[in-house]
A and B are shown apart, each in its own frame.
Chain A
Amino acid sequence: MKRILIFFILLCALLFPVFLFAQSVQIIDVQGQILVKKDGVSPWQKAEINMILGKEAEIMSQDKSNCTLAFDEEKQNILTIKENSHIKIENISPGDLFLSEGRVFSLIKNLTKTEKFQIRTPVAVAGARATGWATGYHNGVAFVYCFEDTVYILGMDEAGNITKAIDLQHGFSIDIGTGGKIGKILELTADELAEWNDFKRLIERLSGKTQEGGTESREGLREERNGLRDLRREGREDYREQELEERRQEEEKPYSPSVNMS
């Protein structure tokens, strides 16, 4: 019996860290002015690429600024916080965020069948298991745009009680007003789809992003350094040609027209 007890205690000690998960989010892209609180108690500081955020972290973006977070190592669960936004990470796995102002774009592909990823605003909750959508909140109205699969939306009153629940299909958007009042379902506009495509392209680039700042800068720098290398090679060839000229003079001098003529 003692052996079983010891085995059980050891098993719990080994498994307990598993239940803790890797409760952290990584910043994988920063553009413009982004401030973060790494956890509930840290002060505000400037966001940096590869910075790790914990539970209760907050992120604020300024004008013409955005920040992209990865909720998993494989970068399959991605969130981009758009300009003039403020979010709080209430839980990491599964993802649970509170959006008090602004907009976020989410692309979620790596959740288990029982997990959900959701974004809460003061008037609604939008979430899904594996899909792509955008959530916004401004002046008491929440907006949800579904670009892939289906998003569930729960309207909430001031007390946080659910007033209505609907599923929004891809290709449509909806607004939710005060008291969780769900508005009309509208088709996504061309601009909204274009913005979503930009977001997806950003994600694809970030999967190959380096610390130098992205593929563009990597290519640009590589090109310039190749230009330097070409110039150096050209210099060496000229040096060789000059040496060749001297050696050829020695070889051809007895046969050169100037010598023969004299």
Chain B
Amino acid sequence: MRCKYIILRLFMFLLISVLLRVSPGFAQSTTKEEEQEKTLNVLEGQKLQKESSQEKTPTHRLYSSTAFFSGYDTNARLSTDRKGDIFEEYLFSLDFTKYWPKDINFTFTYDFDILNYNEITDASNILNHFRIGPSKKFALCTLGAGYDLGILYYPHNQDSSFILQKGFFYIRQDISQNTYHKLQFEAGCKAFTDGKAMGDAIDSYQDKERKDKIERLEYRIDSFVYPKLLVSSKTRFSLNDSNARYVDFYDYKSYAETLGADYKLGRNLSLFADFTYIRKVYDSRTVTLRDYKERDNLYGGNIGLKHKTNKRNQLSLYYTYWQNVSNDDLARYTESIITCGWQHLF
């Protein structure tokens, strides 16, 4: 009997505790003192807003990050020899966007990248990449244009160093809130700083450096098909017109298609993958010691994981594979790269 009484009292205590947590939901009369306190709190908050936050609504966005990668490349020279080597890579990136009135933005990005191969040092290089330009958002689309500069320097193999300058123009449209597509045209010139342009024979050179004129048309579509899954498709047509004369060695037209996906496995873990196919048709270049034109079919892909350890740091591990299936034996190669990396956001 006594136990039942205790249980009943405990149950009543629990019930009252639960009921007290449910607010009445209707008007709650407040006393004058509570109202005054509320007003004071509001005034204090408003004063704080004026004093401590004189800055206006953000007018720009700045991201910067640094990353370090290391890995093993099974074919550093992309040749039939297949010599592998360990590499390290350092990357610094800066993304700046300035917001102007009337939906006009100005974007500047800069990347500094150093790739070092331990043994095959002539494949090591330093890359500086700048991209700058305005864009304006209209009711139906966004138009943008700009200038892209890439400077690739091979310290131990300067014949391969070049400066690539391009102007670009694009039109971008949001198909829905989760999907956009973009059409971009770019044209430019790749000037090799030390590499001479080929002459009329395979072993002859002109007095001037090699220069390639480039034109590209690219169509891209990205879509969040599910909140956790982003898929993308990029199609690109390219024209390369070089001043190398021997069988117009570097003149080609190419078609490239890249399909990619990013999938959020968890709150801090995502899986990414992409597959690329490039078809290169040379205008006049013939297969070595043959009289028919060279055709290259490049297949490549990446698959990897990205893990956010915290708000500012991210680890990555990915595998890359490239294969050139060419009708010229000398041009064929396969390459596998395993890379691990760490990225820090400032």
B42 adjacent to chain A (CB < 8 Å): yes
With A33-B57, A63-B57, A258-B201 known as contacts, the answer to whether A248 contacts B330 (CB < 8 A) is yes
* Residues B129 and A231 in contact, CB atoms below 8 Å apart: yes
Secondary structure of the B side of the interface? Answer: mixed
A217 to B162, CA, bound (A): 31
A245 adjacent to chain B (CB < 8 Å): yes
Interfacial chain B residues near A201, Cβ < 8 Å: 177
> Distance in Å from the Cβ of A145 to the closest Cβ of chain B?
21
* Residues A219 and B180 in contact, CB atoms below 8 Å apart: yes
Q: Which residue of B lies closest to A55 (CB)?
A: B23
A5 adjacent to chain B (CB < 8 Å): yes
A37 to B113, CA, bound (A): 44
* Residues A249 and B152 in contact, CB atoms below 8 Å apart: no
> Distance in Å from the Cβ of B7 to the closest Cβ of chain A?
6
Secondary structure of the A side of the interface? Answer: helix
A217 to B99, CA, bound (A): 14
Interfacial chain A residues near B228, Cβ < 8 Å: 208
> Distance in Å from the Cβ of A87 to the closest Cβ of chain B?
11
* Residues A243 and B78 in contact, CB atoms below 8 Å apart: yes
Which residues from 152 to 202 on chain B have a C-beta closer than 8 Å to any C-beta of chain A?
Answer: 152, 154, 157, 159-160, 162, 164, 177-178, 180, 190, 195, 198, 200-202
* Residues B160 and A227 in contact, CB atoms below 8 Å apart: no
Interfacial chain B residues near A118, Cβ < 8 Å: 25
Interfacial chain A residues near B204, Cβ < 8 Å: 258
> Distance in Å from the Cβ of A94 to the closest Cβ of chain B?
8
> Distance in Å from the Cβ of B196 to the closest Cβ of chain A?
11
> Distance in Å from the Cβ of A165 to the closest Cβ of chain B?
11
A140 adjacent to chain B (CB < 8 Å): no
> Distance in Å from the Cβ of A240 to the closest Cβ of chain B?
4
With A204-B178, A242-B160 known as contacts, the answer to whether A19 contacts B17 (CB < 8 A) is yes
Q: Which residue of A lies closest to B222 (CB)?
A: A219
Option from B25, B27, B162, B230 in Cβ contact (under 8 Å) with A160: B27
B139 adjacent to chain A (CB < 8 Å): no
A138 adjacent to chain B (CB < 8 Å): no
Interfacial chain B residues near A164, Cβ < 8 Å: none
A225 to B232, CA, bound (A): 14
> Distance in Å from the Cβ of B329 to the closest Cβ of chain A?
10
Interfacial chain B residues near A162, Cβ < 8 Å: 26-27
* Residues B202 and A252 in contact, CB atoms below 8 Å apart: yes
A58 to B160, CA, bound (A): 61
With A232-B127, A258-B203 known as contacts, the answer to whether A215 contacts B57 (CB < 8 A) is no
> Distance in Å from the Cβ of A168 to the closest Cβ of chain B?
18
1/0 contact trace for B31-48 toward A, CB 8 Å? 000000010011011101
A65 adjacent to chain B (CB < 8 Å): yes
* Residues B25 and A96 in contact, CB atoms below 8 Å apart: yes
Which residues from 39 to 81 on chain B have a C-beta closer than 8 Å to any C-beta of chain A?
Answer: 41-42, 44-46, 48-49, 53, 55, 57-58, 61, 63, 77-79
What residues make up the interface of B, taking CB atoms closer than 8 Å to A? Answer: 3, 6-7, 10, 14, 17-18, 21, 23, 25-29, 38, 41-42, 44-46, 48-49, 53, 55, 57-58, 61, 63, 77-79, 93, 95, 109, 111, 113, 115, 123, 125, 127, 129, 131, 148, 150, 152, 154, 157, 159-160, 162, 164, 177-178, 180, 190, 195, 198, 200-204, 220, 222, 224, 226-228, 230, 232, 234, 249-250, 262, 288-289, 308, 311, 330-331, 333
- Listed A/B pairs (13) with beta-carbon separation below 8 Å: A5-B3, A44-B48, A208-B178, A217-B61, A221-B95, A226-B234, A235-B160, A236-B78, A237-B78, A238-B190, A252-B202, A256-B202, A257-B201
